[in-house]
Amino acid sequence: MDPIFQLDDTQALLQGSLQRWLNDHANFDQRAKLLAAPGAIQPLWAGLAEQLGLLGAALPEAAGGQGGGLAEHLVILQALGQALLPEPYTACVVTGAGLLQRLGGATAQRLLAGVADGTVRPVLAALEPAGRHHIDQVASRLGADGRLTGRKTLVRAAPQATHWLVSARDDSGTLRLALVLPDAAGITRRDLRLADGSWASELAFDGTPAEALQDGDVLPLLQQVADEALLATGAEAIGVMQRLLHETLDYVRQRKQFGVAIASFQVTQHRLADMHTALLQARALVGATLAAMGQPAADRARAVASCQVQVARAARIVGQSAVQLHGGMGMTEELAIGHGFKRLTLIEQHQGGLAVHLQRVARWQAAQALAA
């Protein structure tokens, strides 16, 4: 597997160890079992924590982690994407743990230690039905008495979470984060299976007991972790696309028509070249965007949105071409191609889809023009 960026010795060791472990414990034949129910992922999640120490790779040493960062997330997610592993890593470790790490406080530190050892899976519940993909459009309320009221939609990995981090406004209108236990009173939950087989939930809170995690407006933190999650999902897409390209190459070399392998047909070669070019462009941009994550918020958002545009376009080219070159069997449950295509389709729509991210880039360009 070609890395997204130049790995140091520790990152190369991490990637190699993870790939070997996934080959032994989470190969494609086990995928259906891992998707069967939200709790089916638990043994694998425990293995990632206990056998590999993977869940703490990007967490601070004070919380039981190895002191890595976003680069380690990208290394991990590229490997998980290539394995087509249906796990909640981005939701729990990149976003959930990323928020806890920045919030600070005794509760957050306790939960972070649980993330590293695999016992805690925190998931952010931010989007609401009326707000669509806008994390700042929040009508949920957290009263002074610690009671939460409101609704959240399409909360990815919520059925697999041990804790929910719910965005809500306090009595003054300030956006806060509230810690909610999934078995607390006053919760209505409807679990959903998404197109790629992963899990999400619709949540409703009616006077649910909750713990406020911080003072002050949490919106800048939400925007930061959303950008990090978008880049991390791009790294996962690179892994998925690498898997689809590799399997498509193997197939067209073996599949024969008119007595010759279809890999020898010019139209097939052109399609494969388009897939390879799209993958290389997306991989290069994901790696370049990692270096931009420390920039001011507006510049970071522009870089991540531009990256997602390229990733989404590449995902469409690679996913659709892989299916088409396999013919009708490309969408069967027995082949990894269809599963990868479905995952890429959801990644393409992540945080609003192509049109939304193009608008983010356009807003940044307009702001730059006004400032000039």
Q: pLDDT value at position 370?
A: 84
Its pTM surpasses 0.85: yes
Domains and CATH numbers, the chain: 9-116 (1.10.540.10), 122-212 (2.40.110.10), 219-371 (1.20.140.10)
Q: How far is CA 159 from the centre of its chain?
A: 16
Q: How far is CA 24 from the centre of its chain?
A: 23
| Residues 304, 288: Cα–Cα separation, whole Å | 10
CA max distance for the chain: 76
Q: pLDDT value at position 161?
A: 97
Tokens at residue 351, please? 């945080």
Q: Residue 111 in contact with residue 100, Cβ under 8 Å? A: yes
Segments in the chain forming alpha helices (H): 9-25, 31-35, 42-50, 70-82, 89, 97-103, 106-117, 219-254, 266-290, 297-326, 336-348, 354-371
Beta bridge partners of 176: 168
pLDDT one digit per residue (tens) for the chain, 372 residues: 789 999 999 999 999 999 999 998 888 888 888 888 888 888 889 999 999 889 999 998 988 899 999 999 999 999 999 999 878 999 999 999 999 999 988 999 999 999 999 999 999 999 999 988 899 999 999 999 999 999 999 999 999 999 999 999 999 999 999 999 999 999 999 999 999 989 999 999 999 999 999 878 999 999 999 999 999 999 999 999 999 999 999 999 999 888 899 999 999 999 999 999 999 999 999 999 999 999 999 999 999 999 999 999 999 999 999 999 998 888 888 899 999 999 999 999 888 888 888 888 888 888 888 887
Tokens at residue 266, please? 């010019």
What does the DSSP assignment read for 163-195?
EEEEEEE-TT--EEEEEE-TT-TTEEEEEEE-T
